[in-house]
Structure 1
Amino acid sequence: MNIHKKFFSRIGFSYLIFGLFILLVTVVVMNSAGSINSNLLNNINFTTILSAICNYVLPFPALYFLLKKIDTRPIEKKNLSIATFLKYIAITLTLMWIGNIIGLIVTAEIGFVLQTDVSNPVENLITNSDIWMNLLLISIIAPIFEEIFFRKLLIDRTIKYGAKISILLSAILFGFFHGNLNQFFYTFLMGGFFAYVYIKTGKVIYTIGLHIAVNLLGSVISVLVVASAENLIAGTYAPLDMAIILAYLIFLITAMIIGIVSLYKFKKSKLDETKTEIPLENPLKTAILNPGMIFFMLFFAFQMACQIIA
């Protein structure tokens, strides 16, 4: 195995160990909380807070330790105009909707074959958690940590192999790391786009902003819209409910039109290939088909399978 394949294998094993560490910390913390008071684990808000601590706060030093000895490359920093940032929000939402549709079709087909419903753990979490908890954890804390994990720490170390390789790795690791098939397709697409934005600007604050926007729409705003729609169906709606639904529909249609048009005009040539310090003869084989990445993908594919048959 050549030196470059070893490099990407190390990346894969680092994120695999990171995932295993999260699993271990979650088991220990949840069992400890249950031993203190078993009723605590029946409180969805309490378990959501613990999950955030176990998934983001406690494991952060572990991932940093695993990656800190790998050389980084500075990325030139550029600012985005407000108009461009808003366009990127529309692109992000469009990619999310496209990926979500693909995920729904795939899980529906799997459910049909297995004669069972494939549950969506994220949807269950959003539905059952307090809306303020969704705002804090899903819409703010998760985007901040995930952008550091899968954009800042990862791309700074892989950009020397070129933008395309960094984008692909970021998309694959981000998609698989969520551990369920429902999320894989849209997190893969969004992860790749976030990687593009980070490489283009060199500022993780922009991808954090995009991530917050899409999570806010899915975990907070959508909950308010659903509540207004339920009031409308029940005949107990107020003028505010109608205003919320109309504003949401106008926003969705506008964002989708802008997103589709922007994606149609999107050109691969926009990637700055001058960032490639180390060209690879077989980039896909070198970056993906190595022990670390293979074991990483197998582990999280197994998690997805367990989630499907659970």
Structure 2
Amino acid sequence: MNSNKKFFSKIGFNYLIYAICTIIIPLILFYILGNTELTNNYNFKLIISSICNYILPLPILIFLMKKLDSENIEKESLSIKTLLLYFCISYSLMIIGNIIGLAITALIGNAIQSDIANPIQNLINSTDMILNLVIISIIAPIFEEIIFRKLLIDRTIKYGAKISIILSATMFGLMHGNLNQFFYAFLLGGFFAFVYMKTGKLIYTIILHISLNLIGSVLSLFVVESLNAVTQGAYTTFDISIILVYLLFLIIATLIGLYGLIKYKKLDLTKIKAKIELENPLKTAFINPGMICYIGFTLLLIIYSTLLM
């Protein structure tokens, strides 16, 4: 195995260790705490989940990744107009990914004659809105951008922009551990990777990520509540207003985003020059022991989530 394959293999094993930690740490904590009313509470589970997914394993991943050489990405600021355009592109990618995910899970659900649960949506619907706001909409995006953009791209950018984007998108999508989220996480992960490489500033991807999570975890609750009121015939003018404003926002943001995707179908990353040219970049990056183990482990999580939950 050549040095480049070894490099990507180390990355794969590093993220495999991180993924395993996010499963083992909560199991240990819940074993210590025991089966109580508190440990069965969704709000408590969300708090423990955030601690075990981000706060506790991150120092381990940082320690492992610091052993690999990193590159400094040239800094570039975005205008408010461009940032808004990037938000609309991100939103349209989220919609496209959601549609693909829903369609595929529906097909699989019909094939196995069982509904496929959406773990994150169940969690959002069952937990306190303030916790959704703080953990899902703020804490998670910050940590995920550090893990799947900063730590990963700073070390793979020397092989070129394309392989860094594909790697970031794939590993980010797989790490979500369920089929419902994989497709939009893959698309968003790739676009966030592009934004980070273009600007060299993590703050922009964090802003985009937080904005989308706010829509999905907080705004969506108000919309669903208003839709339920309408279907039950107990709605008010406020409920109708929320639904109409959301639909208008959805249409405008999606149309602008699709326009942006068409206009920028060839992403401008000309300033990102590969310092190391690979003859078979995808094969080198993915067909190695570490990455195969990471992909295999996360695919098992997705299969478990899809078929057994």
TM-score of the aligned structures, taking structure 2 as reference length: 0.97
Any stretches of 5+ residues in structure 1 without a counterpart? none
> Partner of 1:187 in structure 2?
185
SS at structure 2 position matched to 1:138: helix
Which of 88, 92, 95 is the equivalent residue of 1:94? 92
Equivalent position amino acid for 2:274 in 1: T
Q: Which stretch of structure 1 is more off in the superposition, 110-119 or 49-58?
A: 110-119
2:4 pairs with 1:4:
yes
How do 1:156-195 residues align onto structure 2 when only pairs under 5 Å count? 156-195=154-193
How do 1:59-208 residues align onto structure 2 when only pairs under 5 Å count? 59-208=57-206
> Partner of 1:15 in structure 2?
15
2:235 pairs with 1:237:
yes
- Give distance in 1, aligned partners of 2:204 and 2:30: 34
Q: 1:184 Cα deviation (Å)?
A: 0.6
- Give distance in 1, aligned partners of 2:125 and 2:187: 24
Cα offsets for 1:97-142 (capped at 9, x unmatched): 1111111111111111111111110110111111111111100000
> Partner of 1:300 in structure 2?
298
Q: Which stretch of structure 1 is more off in the superposition, 95-104 or 264-273?
A: 264-273
Equivalent position amino acid for 1:288 in 2: F
2:57 pairs with 1:41:
no
Equivalent position amino acid for 2:13 in 1: F
SS at structure 1 position matched to 2:155: helix
Q: Residue 167 of structure 1 contacts residue 196 of structure 1 at CA under 8 Å; is this kept in 2?
A: yes
Say if 1:234 and 1:116 are closer, same or farther in 2 by CA, change over 3 A: closer
- Give distance in 2, aligned partners of 1:274 and 1:126: 38
> Partner of 1:268 in structure 2?
266
Q: Which stretch of structure 1 is more off in the superposition, 193-202 or 105-114?
A: 105-114
SS at structure 2 position matched to 1:24: helix
Q: Percent identity?
A: 56
Q: 1:251 Cα deviation (Å)?
A: 0.5
Say if 1:272 and 1:33 are closer, same or farther in 2 by CA, change over 3 A: farther
2:219 pairs with 1:247:
no
- Give distance in 1, aligned partners of 2:245 and 2:193: 30
TM-score of the aligned structures, taking structure 1 as reference length: 0.97
SS at structure 1 position matched to 2:39: helix
Cα offsets for 1:161-197 (capped at 9, x unmatched): 1111110110011000011111111100000000000
Q: Residue 45 of structure 1 contacts residue 129 of structure 1 at CA under 8 Å; is this kept in 2?
A: yes
Q: 1:271 Cα deviation (Å)?
A: 1.6
Say if 1:210 and 1:274 are closer, same or farther in 2 by CA, change over 3 A: closer
Any stretches of 5+ residues in structure 2 without a counterpart? none
**RMSD value over aligned CA atoms?**
1.1
Give the paired residue count.
308
> Partner of 1:224 in structure 2?
222
Equivalent position amino acid for 1:52 in 2: S
- Give distance in 1, aligned partners of 2:306 and 2:223: 28
Q: Residue 94 of structure 1 contacts residue 259 of structure 1 at CA under 8 Å; is this kept in 2?
A: yes
> Partner of 2:27 in structure 1?
27
Cα offsets for 1:9-39 (capped at 9, x unmatched): 111111001111111111111222226xx11
How do 1:208-219 residues align onto structure 2 when only pairs under 5 Å count? 208-219=206-217
- Give distance in 1, aligned partners of 2:182 and 2:240: 33
Cα offsets for 1:254-286 (capped at 9, x unmatched): 001001111111133512254311111111110
Equivalent position amino acid for 2:111 in 1: V
- Give distance in 1, aligned partners of 2:274 and 2:99: 34
Q: Which stretch of structure 1 is more off in the superposition, 11-20 or 229-238?
A: 229-238
Equivalent position amino acid for 2:20 in 1: L
SS at structure 2 position matched to 1:41: coil
Say if 1:89 and 1:3 are closer, same or farther in 2 by CA, change over 3 A: same
